[in-house]
């Protein structure tokens, strides 16, 4: 009887050990997936950031007096460049959203800009970049969802704590500012 | 026979209602913008482009978008579920035309984003497709757009296909069946020899008398050895055949059918979704190469 009990305890421990190995590997790969997805998001943000100087250049050619706006643009860019954490980047990105919106609003007042081929192609690039951002954000959220679903299930969250992984990763949410259309004050 | 056909037709018609949109070729004119001849011409052109350069250009026309979905989301979804472009190269392009909303989208795979930039896509839509579409000349709009896209992306990634080095599928199948046959044969031999060995072993080295009841189970056991081998081999050979077929299909793509020997062709056509009737509609499309896109491209209207 005693022998049997010993055997059962050992068997259970062994099963837990094996399960923890699988769980650890799964957590690592899911965590990595989220990181890759985030890198991809940053990638497309960077792409948009690189397009902004072109946009500023075009607008500058026609509307030299919007100096304040140009300063804001460069500030927003450097803010994004310096942002480290996911939430910081998110806030900075929404600010860039706003700045681009304002630049495009300025363009509305200048039919010459809208007619120029430079601006048309730039607009295509901007629209394409926005779409890429939307796609990569969706994929990031999917990766986060997968991670969270795994990390919150019953035996798994114990291992998550033991191994020191994040118990929950944050979804990408549209910030309140970016949900509003850009507002212009004259 | 007639009944079979009817059931098949029924299944085909209703599969469109229940299963998500599936590609029927490089041109998927679900909105019926083109005539039969125009369809064949464009399909041929797209096929040739794929054979020459490996780039997969796909045209999809639909009547209207599903609710609550933008054309960008829809195009990206279709692109990545159809896996347009070759795996790893992601050299696919999807031209999506939505009739009722009068919208066009060119979605570009990751691998072609550098050549077919968003602004070029926008220009193709504005300067080539939209003017033709406005005059209801869908054929010219699509055809010219394909021509321009082909010119832009053909410089890169010219995939030389070694047609001569492709061994015929009949050859593979022949050796595959031979291997199975010989496999069973040798397994049987191995089992038999093991069986004999056990019997001999029992007779020589044990003191169990042949006539005692103790001897019977050993004999019984050894008789089953060949069958054990059979049962192990059967699943293994099945697994190998499935893997093998998938690999070959992937390798040949849509050429898969061409290499099937004549004595198997009828059988395989019957089991696949090939539809022998209905003018010009061939269900024998093997799918695309496994590419992905990240939302590059441009959207426009006419």
Please check the confidence at residue B217 and state whether its pLDDT lies above 70: no
A106 part of a folded domain: yes
- With a CB cutoff of 8 Å and minimum separation 6, the contacts of A102 are A69, A72, A182, A184
pLDDT at B142: 93
Query: Which of B73, B121, B294 minimises the CB distance to A124?
Result: B121
pLDDT at A164: 87
A3 part of a folded domain: no
Confidence of residue B187 (pLDDT cuts 50, 70, 90): confident
Please check the confidence at residue A6 and state whether its pLDDT lies above 80: yes
Q: Would you call B296 and A128 a contact, using CB atoms and an 8 Å cutoff?
A: yes
- With a CB cutoff of 8 Å and minimum separation 6, the contacts of A51 are A122, A125, A126, A129
A4 part of a folded domain: no
Which of A58-72, A146-160, B71-85 comes out lowest in average pLDDT? A58-72
A122 part of a folded domain: yes
Please check the confidence at residue B6 and state whether its pLDDT lies above 90: no
A5 part of a folded domain: no
- With a CB cutoff of 8 Å and minimum separation 6, the contacts of B176 are B241, B244
The tally of domains found in chain A comes to 1
Confidence of residue B4 (pLDDT cuts 50, 70, 90): low
Q: Would you call A125 and B297 a contact, using CB atoms and an 8 Å cutoff?
A: no
A67 part of a folded domain: yes
* Alpha-carbon gap: B50 to the closest alpha carbon of chain A (Å): 25
How many whole angstroms separate alpha carbon A69 and alpha carbon A113? 17
Which of A68-72, A75-79, B193-197, B200-204 comes out lowest in average pLDDT? B200-204
Please check the confidence at residue B174 and state whether its pLDDT lies above 70: no
pLDDT (tens digit, 9 = 90+) per residue, B100-126? 989 999 999 988 888 888 888 998 999
How many whole angstroms separate alpha carbon B30 and alpha carbon B98? 10
For the segment A151-178, the average pLDDT, to the nearest whole number, is: 79
* Backbone CA torsion sign across B172, B178, B179, B184: positive
pLDDT (tens digit, 9 = 90+) per residue, A129-141? 889 988 998 899 9
Q: Which of residues 170-189 of B touch A (CB under 8 A)?
A: none
Q: Which of B37, B164, B123, B73 shows the shortest CA–CA distance to A131?
A: B73
For the segment B151-173, the average pLDDT, to the nearest whole number, is: 57
Residue percentage of chain B with pLDDT more than 90: 20
For every residue of B180-225, DSSP letters joined together read: HHHHHHHHHHHHHHHHHHHHHHHHHH----TTSTTHHHHHHHHHTH
A34 part of a folded domain: yes
Q: Which domain holds residue A166?
A: 11-179
What's this model's pTM, rounded to 2 decimal places?
0.65
Mean pLDDT of chain A: 84
For the segment A86-105, the average pLDDT, to the nearest whole number, is: 85
Query: Which of A125, A131, A133 minimises the CB distance to B119?
Result: A125
For residue B121, the chain A residues in CB contact (below 8 A) are 124, 128
- For B2, counting Cβ atoms within 10 Å of its Cβ (0-12 exposed, 13-18 middle, 19+ buried), the class is exposed
Question: B108 — phi, psi (to 5°)?
Answer: -115, 135
DSSP 8-state secondary structure symbol assigned to residue B111: G
A184 part of a folded domain: no
pLDDT (tens digit, 9 = 90+) per residue, A100-152? 888 888 888 888 888 888 888 888 888 888 899 889 988 999 999 999 999 98
What structural domains does chain B harbor? 24-162+286-301 (3.10.310.50), 169-260 (no CATH)
pLDDT at B89: 82
Please check the confidence at residue B50 and state whether its pLDDT lies above 90: no
How many whole angstroms separate alpha carbon B43 and alpha carbon A50? 39
pLDDT top residue among A28 and B280: A28
Q: Is B123 on the interface with A (CB under 8 A)?
A: yes
ipTM, two decimals, is 0.77
- With a CB cutoff of 8 Å and minimum separation 6, the contacts of B252 are B166, B169, B258, B259, B286
For residue B295, the chain A residues in CB contact (below 8 A) are 128, 131-136
In chain B, which residue ranges form alpha helices assigned H by DSSP?
2-18, 36-53, 71-82, 118-123, 130-134, 138-153, 169-205, 215-223, 225-252, 262-271
Query: Which of B119, B122, B294 minimises the CB distance to A132?
Result: B294
Q: Is B296 on the interface with A (CB under 8 A)?
A: yes
Q: Is A135 on the interface with B (CB under 8 A)?
A: yes
CATH number at residue A45: 1.20.1440.20
């Amino acid at each position: 009887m005693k022998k049997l009990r010993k055997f059962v305890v050992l068997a259970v421990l062994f099963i837990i050990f094996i399960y923890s190995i699988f769980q650890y590997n799964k957590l690592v790969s899911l965590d990595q997936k989220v990181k890759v997805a985030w890198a991809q998001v940053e990638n497309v943000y960077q792409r948009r950031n690189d397009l902004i100087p072109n946009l500023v250049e075009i607008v500058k050619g026609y509307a030299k007096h919007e100096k304040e706006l140009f300063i804001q643009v460069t500030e927003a860019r450097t803010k994004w460049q310096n942002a480290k954490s996911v939430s910081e980047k998110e806030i900075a990105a929404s600010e860039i959203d706003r700045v681009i919106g304002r630049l495009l609003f300025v363009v509305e007042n200048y039919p010459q800009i809208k007619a120029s081929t430079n601006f048309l192609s730039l607009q295509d690039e901007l629209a394409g970049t926005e779409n890429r951002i939307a796609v990569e954000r969706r994929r990031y959220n999917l990766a986060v969802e997968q991670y969270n679903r795994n990390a919150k299930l019953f035996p798994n969250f114990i291992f998550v704590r033991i191994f020191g992984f994040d118990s929950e990763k944050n979804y990408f949410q549209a910030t309140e500012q970016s949900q509003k259309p850009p507002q212009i004050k004259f | 026979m007639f009944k079979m056909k009817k059931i098949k037709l029924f299944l085909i018609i209703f599969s469109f209602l229940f299963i998500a949109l599936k590609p029927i070729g490089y041109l998927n004119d679900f909105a019926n913008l083109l005539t039969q001849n125009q369809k064949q011409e464009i399909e041929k052109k797209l096929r040739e482009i794929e054979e020459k350069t490996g780039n997969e250009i796909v045209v999809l026309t639909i009547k209207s978008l599903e609710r609550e979905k933008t054309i960008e989301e829809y195009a990206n979804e279709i692109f990545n579920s159809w896996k347009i472009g070759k795996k790893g190269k992601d050299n696919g392009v999807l031209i999506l035309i939505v009739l009722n909303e009068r919208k066009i989208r060119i979605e570009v795979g990751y691998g072609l984003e550098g050549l077919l930039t968003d602004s070029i896509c926008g220009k193709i839509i504005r300067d080539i497709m939209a003017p033709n579409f406005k005059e209801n000349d869908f054929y010219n709009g699509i055809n010219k757009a394909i021509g321009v896209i082909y010119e832009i992306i053909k410089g890169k990634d010219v995939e030389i296909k070694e047609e001569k080095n492709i061994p015929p599928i009949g050859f593979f199948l022949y050796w595959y069946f031979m291997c199975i046959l010989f496999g069973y044969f040798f397994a049987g031999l191995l089992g038999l020899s093991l069986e004999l060995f056990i019997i001999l072993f029992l007779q020589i080295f044990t003191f169990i008398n042949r006539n005692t009841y103790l001897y019977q189970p050993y004999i019984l056991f050894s008789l089953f050895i060949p069958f054990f081998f059979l049962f192990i081999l059967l699943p293994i050979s099945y697994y190998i055949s499935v893997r093998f077929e998938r690999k070959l299909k992937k390798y040949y793509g849509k050429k898969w059918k061409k290499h099937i020997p004549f004595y198997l062709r009828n059988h395989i056509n019957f089991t696949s979704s090939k539809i022998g009737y209905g003018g010009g509609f061939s269900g024998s499309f093997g799918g695309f190469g496994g590419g992905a896109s990240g939302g590059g491209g441009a959207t426009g209207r006419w």
